[in-house]
Amino acid sequence: GLAALLAGCALLLGLGAAGGLLLGEFALAPEALWHALAQGGDGTEAFVVRELRLPRLLVGLLAGAALGMAGAIIQSITRNPLGEPSLMGVSAGAAFAMVAGMVWFDWPQSVMLACGTAGGVLAGLLTFAIAARTRLQPLYLTLTGMSINLFFAAAITLLLVSADIEANGIYYWLTGSLANRGWPHVHLLWPWVLPGLALAAASGRILDLLLLDEQVLHALGLRVGAWRLLFGLCAALLTAASVAATGPIAFIGLLAPHLVRLGLRPRGGALGHRRLLPLAALVGASLVCGADLIAKWREVPVGILCVLLGGPLLVYLIRRQED
């Protein structure tokens, strides 16, 4: 039930936060952590906590929340239970913009982050523009997004193959990592994640209605295409900001909504989006936070770990759906 779901999230968040702040290349005592956070200081330990470990933790929480909420929105507007942010082409679009900036330009970090976010949003807009002829029908929207995603993925490969640079750092970024993330990444994410949660609380009932039959929606006078576009842009912004900050982290947007539904098991119908969206954000943040705690042991990219852990979990969810 809800209590078990919240308890599991609290456990992952607690362990992830404690481990993320205390563990690393050198471990900190709890007293040193408290001194660095609450009492300030300008020593090495305070610098490591405030400038390295704390922003990394916050970036993981915000990116996980953004991906979890974006996945729930995309599954609803496409009516696809296996929908995730990459289905809209946004992840690959943001990644292409970032990689192009790394290969062709020597821009400051803040400009690169803005470029990645803009690239993801433009890829999402391209998906909607192509699918607009069908009034954003879920099937055509999904197929269009997959095509856009494949196009930008191929463009990334072409860039890296043809570029006359050492691409190891770019390949590492493309796996999805929280290493070396700082306050600029936090400032990129929070203006999108927090308003996204507010939108979820305000517009959840509209998303509930979008799951009804198309003829019923038209009979109710609901502007289905306009609402799908609005929520799709919201998901695109959340995903693009997350990918720009961390690189592509797979499976979080897919798994988080399903774990919420699995934990609550709603009776007599689907789980309302006013509960689903904030809980999916919470579960997404918990998953990334917990995965990063494991990844820090050998500084493995958290995106790789999410794929390794998320693959078997996805198979389990599919088997459970069949049963």
Each residue's pLDDT expressed in tens, for the chain with a length of 323 residues: 788 889 989 999 999 998 888 887 778 888 878 877 776 667 788 888 888 899 999 999 999 999 999 999 988 888 888 788 888 889 999 999 999 888 888 778 788 888 888 999 999 899 888 888 877 777 888 889 889 999 999 999 998 888 777 777 888 888 898 988 889 899 988 888 888 778 776 888 888 888 888 778 788 788 888 888 888 888 888 998 999 899 999 889 989 998 898 888 765 556 788 888 989 999 999 999 999 988 887 778 899 988 888 888 878 777 776 65
Looking at residue 267, its pLDDT comes to 59
In three-state secondary structure terms, 165 is: coil
Nearest C-alpha neighbor of 242 from the set 303, 295, 155: 303
Residue 239: CATH number of its domain:
1.10.3470.10
- How far apart are the C-alpha atoms of 69 and 127, rounded to whole Å? 19
- How far apart are the C-alpha atoms of 153 and 88, rounded to whole Å? 13
Looking at residue 227, its pLDDT comes to 87
Give me the numbers of helices (H) and strands (E) for the chain, helices first please. 14, 0
Other beta carbons less than 10 A from residue 111's beta carbon: 11
Could you tell me if 78 and 138 are in contact, meaning their C-beta atoms sit under 8 angstroms apart? yes
Distances (CA, A) of 76 to 63, 83, 140, 153, 161: 20, 8, 14, 25, 37
- How far apart are the C-alpha atoms of 126 and 143, rounded to whole Å? 13
Nearest C-alpha neighbor of 103 from the set 177, 160, 24: 160
Question: Tokens 């456990």 sit at which residue?
Answer: 11
Could you tell me if 64 and 288 are in contact, meaning their C-beta atoms sit under 8 angstroms apart? yes
Other beta carbons less than 10 A from residue 26's beta carbon: 8
Looking at residue 266, its pLDDT comes to 65
In three-state secondary structure terms, 39 is: coil
Nearest C-alpha neighbor of 12 from the set 259, 276, 249, 288: 288
Quick one: tokens of 17? 């936060």
Quick one: tokens of 21? 């702040």
Domain count, the chain: 1
Amino acid sitting at position 200: A
Looking at residue 323, its pLDDT comes to 59
Instruction: List, as one string, the DSSP characters of 10-66.
Output: HHHHHHHHHHHHH-SSS---HHHHHHHHHS---SHHHHIIIIIIHHHHHHHHHHHHH
Looking at residue 41, its pLDDT comes to 66
Using a 10 angstrom Cβ sphere, with 0-12 exposed, 13-18 middle and 19 or more buried, the burial of residue 206 is middle
Question: Global pTM?
Answer: 0.89
Contacts made by residues 134-137, CB under 8 angstroms, sequence distance 24+: 135/224, 135/225, 136/77, 136/224, 136/225, 136/228, 136/229, 136/232, 137/214
Looking at residue 322, its pLDDT comes to 60
- How far apart are the C-alpha atoms of 262 and 200, rounded to whole Å? 20
Q: How many Cα atoms sit within 13 Å of 109 on the Cβ side?
A: 11
Domain that holds residue 205: 2-322
Could you tell me if 89 and 127 are in contact, meaning their C-beta atoms sit under 8 angstroms apart? yes
